[in-house]
Chain A
């Protein structure tokens, strides 16, 4: 089974973002960038499939600026085989990302595309499902467990109310959730090895995909700030405060 893993370079999850005073966006200058945490989980899963003998090749793909190359290198150091960088400085919306990925799929013919359920910058939670629609492939979103079952995949999904298991014919799209696995840290020797792994460089134009945005930013503002309240000294005080506030 060949596995394609799209990874996105995003603001590190530990960074508290600041909205720019001119309300055009958030300030990304000099902030730490990392691989989207969900994509670390999908890379880890693909690498584990390779180690278990179910995956034959793990191809990492990222659409983004030149620096997304570092994100691909991180995935290669975790165990990916080779990378494809689709280089653009434009903001690429999930629909356009899915369209580009559909072309990459046509070229690479993977049996499985493993994506993150959500990018923690735009919080869209769209790309995997859109790619599945464009390819007319089945989808297993928010995966908690993935098992190969002959030519099919059995995917257990995290859903409201519990867990749901579906069976997907392959080729298929799976998006991963937090509990699927715990991603490894790349070891120093593997980081060195990853430097020699090939990364192809392309541009959206090479795939003939129009990436012009459908959405435009009117403004980006700070959320209303919540004032810290008061510290109460004991449980009895807490109860009486809650009573007088009408909360209980």
Chain B
């Protein structure tokens, strides 16, 4: 048996999401190979070769896969699947974009966002915003799977796999990369952060969000998150959204500030180890999942907390 893991990276460094997917793939069993598709991503391939338990790294380097757009990734991965029983892909925006295209071409029903591998046909995944856990059995010969990173430990880095070159697919493809606007930040990345401070609608403006949430996050060396309401109102960038349809996080410490705790938000953070909620409404649903709830006006409590740390 053999499993292909598609690496998450930005051509410069290997994203930790990959290590978690390797753990899930190892639980599936068999040989685990990592595919690094990118442009000038030699360092990423080298890093992938160090991930524990990996048989080999397949490195496809070329302009057509520089941004890992789905059309080119389909052309690259589908032919490779003759040698694999399963492909495991991180449930990131890149992975979610690619995986179903591969599944449809292989005529298999994808398993999205799995949180456990029971056996080679059976998997666990949350449905209905995490309000139900589905154990599901696939009858397809090959498996196409996206993996929820928060559900698996990261694989170690004591491996020394070989790196094998593969051809990047020749274009042109019907989609073309134009540009990107990435949010620059020195903070820990939200999805893998050990601590997260999130702000909600109650902050009232981007200025207040930056004035109150950011210094608290700085003090805690935490990543910054937000509720959908805060993102929609422009207090924080899109990719800060924590929840059912945003990022899933499970840090050691999650601090929810001025967030009511709608089911869609809880879906993204309720597996955090310790949850702190600051909300002036003592009936706010967020308190039902909080380990420590502070009923207070955030405009007083947050500066005081930042000061006290």
Q: Would B293 and A231 count as touching, CB distance under 8 A?
A: yes
* Alpha-carbon distance A133/B228, docked complex (angstroms): 30
Nearest Cβ in chain A — how far from B119, in angstroms?
A: 10
Nearest Cβ in chain B — how far from A125, in angstroms?
A: 5
Task: Determine the chain B residues whose CB is within 8 A of the CB of A122 once the complex forms.
Answer: 127
Task: Determine the chain B residues whose CB is within 8 A of the CB of A218 once the complex forms.
Answer: 122, 135-137
Nearest Cβ in chain B — how far from A110, in angstroms?
A: 16
Task: Determine the chain A residues whose CB is within 8 A of the CB of B133 once the complex forms.
Answer: 220-223
Task: Determine the chain B residues whose CB is within 8 A of the CB of A169 once the complex forms.
Answer: 174-175
Q: Would A238 and B276 count as touching, CB distance under 8 A?
A: yes
Nearest Cβ in chain B — how far from A146, in angstroms?
A: 13
Contact of B132 among A26, A229, A239 (CB under 8 A): A26
Q: How large is the interface on A (under 10, 10 to 19, 20 to 34, 35 or more residues)?
A: 35 or more
Cβ-closest chain B residue relative to A141: B97
Q: 7 tightest CB-CB pairs across the interface, nearest first?
A: A229-B291, A129-B100, A138-B174, A130-B104, A214-B109, A133-B104, A138-B175
Q: Would B71 and A138 count as touching, CB distance under 8 A?
A: yes
Q: Would B137 and A139 count as touching, CB distance under 8 A?
A: no
Contact of A16 among B131, B175, B220 (CB under 8 A): B131
Q: Would A94 and B110 count as touching, CB distance under 8 A?
A: yes
Task: Determine the chain A residues whose CB is within 8 A of the CB of B35 once the complex forms.
Answer: none
Q: How large is the interface on B (under 10, 10 to 19, 20 to 34, 35 or more residues)?
A: 35 or more
Interface residues of A in 199-239 (CB under 8 A from B): 213-223, 226, 228-232, 234-236, 238-239
Interface residues in chain A, defined as those with a beta carbon under 8 Å from any beta carbon in chain B: 11, 13, 16-17, 19, 26, 38, 93-95, 98, 117-118, 120-134, 136-142, 144, 154, 157-169, 172, 177-179, 213-223, 226, 228-232, 234-236, 238-239, 241-242, 245, 247-248
Contacts known (A129-B70, A223-B132, A239-B309); A163 close to B292, Cβ less than 8 A: no
Interface flags for B214-256 (1: CB within 8 Å of A; 0: not) read: 0000001000000010011000011100001101000011000
Contacts known (A162-B238, A216-B137); A123 close to B183, Cβ less than 8 A: no
Nearest Cβ in chain B — how far from A186, in angstroms?
A: 22
* Alpha-carbon distance A126/B132, docked complex (angstroms): 19
Contacts known (A16-B263, A124-B110); A161 close to B292, Cβ less than 8 A: no
Nearest Cβ in chain A — how far from B63, in angstroms?
A: 15
Interface residues of B in 267-309 (CB under 8 A from A): 270, 273-276, 282, 287-296, 301, 304-305, 308-309
Q: Would A98 and B104 count as touching, CB distance under 8 A?
A: yes
Q: Would A164 and B108 count as touching, CB distance under 8 A?
A: no
Task: Determine the chain A residues whose CB is within 8 A of the CB of B237 once the complex forms.
Answer: 162
Contacts known (A122-B127, A162-B237, A235-B301); A217 close to B289, Cβ less than 8 A: no
Task: Determine the chain A residues whose CB is within 8 A of the CB of B103 once the complex forms.
Answer: 95, 126, 130, 133
Contacts known (A130-B101, A141-B97, A162-B181); A215 close to B136, Cβ less than 8 A: yes
**Given A95-B107, A125-B100, A164-B67, 20 more pairs with CB closer than 8 A:** A26-B128, A123-B112, A159-B180, A161-B183, A162-B183, A163-B238, A168-B175, A177-B245, A213-B109, A214-B108, A215-B138, A222-B133, A223-B133, A226-B289, A228-B290, A229-B292, A231-B293, A232-B292, A235-B294, A248-B220
* Alpha-carbon distance A228/B191, docked complex (angstroms): 24
* Alpha-carbon distance A167/B34, docked complex (angstroms): 29
Task: Determine the chain B residues whose CB is within 8 A of the CB of A159 once the complex forms.
Answer: 93-94, 180, 239
Cβ-closest chain A residue relative to B270: A226
* Alpha-carbon distance A138/B70, docked complex (angstroms): 8
Q: Would B126 and A167 count as touching, CB distance under 8 A?
A: no
Task: Determine the chain A residues whose CB is within 8 A of the CB of B173 once the complex forms.
Answer: 138
Task: Determine the chain A residues whose CB is within 8 A of the CB of B98 once the complex forms.
Answer: 129
Q: Would B239 and A161 count as touching, CB distance under 8 A?
A: yes
Q: Would A126 and B110 count as touching, CB distance under 8 A?
A: yes
* Alpha-carbon distance A125/B91, docked complex (angstroms): 10
* Alpha-carbon distance A108/B87, docked complex (angstroms): 34
* Alpha-carbon distance A64/B214, docked complex (angstroms): 46
* Alpha-carbon distance A202/B304, docked complex (angstroms): 63
Q: Would A167 and B178 count as touching, CB distance under 8 A?
A: yes
* Alpha-carbon distance A26/B294, docked complex (angstroms): 34
Task: Determine the chain A residues whose CB is within 8 A of the CB of B264 once the complex forms.
Answer: 13
Task: Determine the chain A residues whose CB is within 8 A of the CB of B292 once the complex forms.
Answer: 229-232, 238, 241-242
